[in-house]
Amino acid sequence: MGKIALITGITGQDGSYLAELLLKKNYSVHGVVRRVALEDRTHRLWRLRKILNKITLHAASLESYASLVKIVQKIKPNEVYHLAAQSYVSYSFEDEFSTLNTNIGGTHYILSAVKEFSPKSKFYFAGSSEMFGKVKEVPQNEKTPFNPRSSYGISKVTGYELTKNYREAYNLFCCTGILFNHESPRRGFEFVTRKISHGAARIKLGIQKNLELGNMDAKRDWGHSEDYVLAMWKMLQLKKPEDFVIATGKQHSVREFAKLAFETLDLDYRKYIKYNKIYDRPSEVDSLLGNYSKAKKIIKWEPKISFKELVKNMVTEDLKLVKKQGY
Ligand code: G4F
């Protein structure tokens, strides 16, 4: 019989790719979802459409320890992937309280549930390059000091520290993947890459006139989510838990992303993109660049999909989507 995996955040971009990967590896895949997602499957479970009959979904809330305990106790997973979070950095400035409460409390609850009811489970925490914030060295690796610039970043640093503490204090297999930005056609529309790929497709089809963005000089290390979920799995196959930076080692600006996305559709981005200061952040993370050499050495992971391929993949899928939907 295959292993049992539990994924929080299974309805998201990474959760859906990870579920597909684990099914291919013959896992029995369980996911934690909000009750409302089960009641509104078309809108909330679209990323899981193709695999819904192969996975088991459990209704629970990251804000409720009791609801998480019940699931962990019942299925005693071999591996837990804790991906669920309020993950939109901009929103974390609008509501610091819910970002901190959900992200820190949720991580603490699930770690505690594992410790009490399934201590043999291997646990993965989705850390983030936002933990480096206003970076203290370039490129960033596992030893680079954290310096977060948002409550989202702070919540991820706290989750990282909690994960480390459960590993050290209770001898559990707990690790953090410090993932740099990773995108795909399944990315949420609020993130800048998807906003651009979807906007460009709509402009190409005459549905939208222009696209408003904030800071186009921000630089990110962008990879593809499908590559990155493989790294998560590889981390949990180790004998000893360790934290890893997962990145491409290459950096591009938002402007470069936009230029390439519009070029894919034979458009000049300068004619369509307008600056709107409402998208600027009170404290911006200007530049992120990861060094993934530890992952390359120990888990034999390397990104396969290039920046160019990523942009092309997102734009062509969005063009198909907009054509099909008509809006
Ligand atoms: O796409 P973003 O919103 O992603 P951000 O803030 O880098 O965070 C993402 O990556 C993190 C890993 O480093 C994750 F932890 C996190 O959950 C999330 O997945 O913004 C990217 C950059 C920012 O500098 C932002 O200021 O794009 C800039 N930007 C410029 N105009 C914009 C816009 N961002 C958004 N969302 N919308 C704009 O109109």
pLDDT tens-digit map of 60-99: 999 999 999 999 999 999 999 999 999 999 999 999 999 9
Cβ atoms of residues 53 and 21 within 8 Å: no
CB of 167 shorter than 6 A to ligand 1: no
Question: Per DSSP, what are the bridge partners of residue 182?
Answer: 223
How does residue 1 score in pLDDT terms, banded at 50, 70 and 90?
confident
- CA–centroid distance, 303 to ligand 1, in Å, is 20
CB of 99 shorter than 6 A to ligand 1: no
Domain assignment present for residue 210? The answer is yes
Domain assignment present for residue 295? The answer is no
- CA–centroid distance, 80 to ligand 1, in Å, is 27
CB of 196 shorter than 6 A to ligand 1: no
- pTM of model > 0.85: yes
Report the atom number in ligand 1 closest to the C-alpha of 89: 6
- CA–centroid distance, 191 to ligand 1, in Å, is 6
If one counts the domains in the chain, the total is 2
Domain assignment present for residue 100? The answer is yes
CATH of the domain at 318: 3.90.25.10
One domain for residues 19 and 123: yes
Domain assignment present for residue 280? The answer is yes
Q: Region 183-193: what's the mean pLDDT?
A: 98
Q: Exactly one of 17, 109, 152, 272 is catalytic; name it.
A: 152
CA-based nearest residue to 92, from 106, 103, 81: 103
pLDDT at residue 100 tops 90:
yes
Which residues, including other chains, have CB under 8 Å from residue 302's CB and lie 6 or more apart? 292, 295, 296
Pairing of strands 182-183, 252-253: unpaired
Q: Tell me which residue has its CA closest to atom 13 in ligand 1.
A: 129
Residue 312: strand, helix, or coil: helix
Q: Is 275 a catalytic residue?
A: no
CB of 135 shorter than 6 A to ligand 1: no
CB of 71 shorter than 6 A to ligand 1: no
One domain for residues 21 and 170: yes
User: What DSSP line would sit under 120-185, residue for residue?
Assistant: TSEEEEEEEGGGT-S-SSSSB-TTSPP---SHHHHHHHHHHHHHHHHHHHH--EEEEEEEPPEE-T
One domain for residues 26 and 152: yes
d(CA 14, CA 124): 13
DSSP state of 247: -
One domain for residues 312 and 277: yes
- CA–centroid distance, 244 to ligand 1, in Å, is 21
Q: Tell me which residue has its CA closest to atom 11 in ligand 1.
A: 181
One domain for residues 122 and 198: no
CA-based nearest residue to 170, from 114, 248, 254, 97: 114
Q: Which of 13, 83, 89 to mutate to test the pocket of ligand 1 (most atoms within 8 A of CB)?
A: 89
What per-residue confidence (pLDDT) applies to 250?
98
For residue 203, give both structure tokens: 């402009």
Residue 50: strand, helix, or coil: helix
The tens digit of pLDDT for each residue in 44-59 reads 999 999 999 999 999 9
d(CA 96, CA 24): 38
d(CA 32, CA 125): 15
pLDDT at residue 197 tops 80:
yes
Domain assignment present for residue 125? The answer is yes
Report the atom number in ligand 1 closest to the C-alpha of 88: 17
d(CA 176, CA 245): 9
One domain for residues 99 and 209: no
How does residue 42 score in pLDDT terms, banded at 50, 70 and 90?
confident
**Alpha-carbon dihedral 310, 248, 263, 209, rounded to 10 degrees:** 70
- CA–centroid distance, 58 to ligand 1, in Å, is 30
CB of 137 shorter than 6 A to ligand 1: no
Domain assignment present for residue 50? The answer is yes
Domain assignment present for residue 300? The answer is no
CB of 89 shorter than 6 A to ligand 1: yes
Residue 276: strand, helix, or coil: coil
One domain for residues 206 and 139: no
CATH of the domain at 229: 3.40.50.720
One domain for residues 74 and 127: yes
Q: Is 92 a catalytic residue?
A: no
Q: Is 130 a catalytic residue?
A: yes
pLDDT at residue 151 tops 80:
yes
DSSP state of 27: P
Domain assignment present for residue 239? The answer is yes
One domain for residues 209 and 151: no
One domain for residues 174 and 273: no
Domain enclosing residue 214, as ranges: 188-220+251-288+305-325
Residue 304: strand, helix, or coil: coil
One domain for residues 192 and 138: no
- CA–centroid distance, 192 to ligand 1, in Å, is 6
- CA 168-157-80 angle, to 5 degrees, is 60
The b/e string for 123-150 (b: 16+ C-beta within 10 A; e otherwise) is bbbbbbbbbbbebeeebbbeebebebbb
One domain for residues 206 and 172: no
Q: Region 184-188: what's the mean pLDDT?
A: 98
CB of 119 shorter than 6 A to ligand 1: no
State the residue for tokens 């990967």.
21
- CA–centroid distance, 103 to ligand 1, in Å, is 18
